[in-house]
Each structure stands twice: as structure tokens, then as C-alpha cells.
């Protein structure tokens, strides 16, 4: 039950902060930071915090970049 509560807090926090910024660089970086923190938190539940952080950073950076391009109208 405690792990589920931690997971819910991390997911809500990540969704709130995902891709903050106004430039492509800041949105990509903030996406990576939020992804790394979320990945580390989730990975720590299985004992693989480092691996989770790396995967989360990659997914977060890609998501931040994609959201930036969508907001700028470069993606249909």
C-alpha cells in the first residue's frame, strides 16, 4: 500500500511539472529531469533506481521535445 501511495505522488508530480518552459531546450531539459526523478523513484521500488533514472530521462527528454514541437505547430 505504501508503494502505491509513493507511485501516485510521483506520477501526479511528474504530470504537473512535465515539459515546463518556453524554449525547446528548456522543455526538453525539464522533461528529462522530471523523467529521471520519476524513473528513479519507480526503479527504487524494484531495486534498480539508476536504471529507472536513465530510462526515465530518455523518455522525459523525448516527451518534452515532442510536446514543444506540437505546441509550436511543427507536428500535426
- Kindly report, residue by residue over 14-64, the tens digit of the pLDDT: 665 555 678 888 888 888 888 888 888 888 888 888 998 999 899 989 988
Residue 51 falls inside a structural domain: yes
**3-state SS assignment for residue 63:** helix
Could you list the residue range(s) of the whole structural domain that residue 51 is in? 33-76
Q: Look at the chain and report how many structural domains it folds into.
A: 1
CB-based contact 66:28 (threshold 8 Å): no
* Backbone torsion region of residue 57, taken as left when φ is above 0, otherwise alpha when ψ lies between -120 and 50, otherwise beta: alpha
Q: Which residue has the higher pLDDT, 68 or 17?
A: 68
Give pLDDT, residue 67: 86
Residue 67 falls inside a structural domain: yes
Give pLDDT, residue 58: 92
Residue 20 falls inside a structural domain: no
- Could you give the CA distance from residue 4 to residue 17 in angstroms, rounded to a whole number? 20
Residue 47 falls inside a structural domain: yes
* Backbone torsion region of residue 47, taken as left when φ is above 0, otherwise alpha when ψ lies between -120 and 50, otherwise beta: left
Give pLDDT, residue 18: 55
**3-state SS assignment for residue 75:** coil
Amino acid at each position: 500500500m505504501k508503494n502505491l501511495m509513493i507511485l501516485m505522488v510521483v506520477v501526479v508530480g511528474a504530470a504537473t511539472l512535465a515539459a515546463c518552459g518556453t524554449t525547446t531546450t528548456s522543455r526538453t531539459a525539464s522533461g528529462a529531469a522530471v523523467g529521471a526523478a520519476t524513473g528513479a523513484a519507480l526503479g527504487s521500488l524494484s531495486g534498480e533506481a539508476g536504471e529507472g533514472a536513465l530510462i526515465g530521462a530518455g523518455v522525459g527528454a523525448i516527451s518534452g521535445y515532442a510536446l514543444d514541437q506540437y505546441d509550436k505547430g511543427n507536428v500535426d
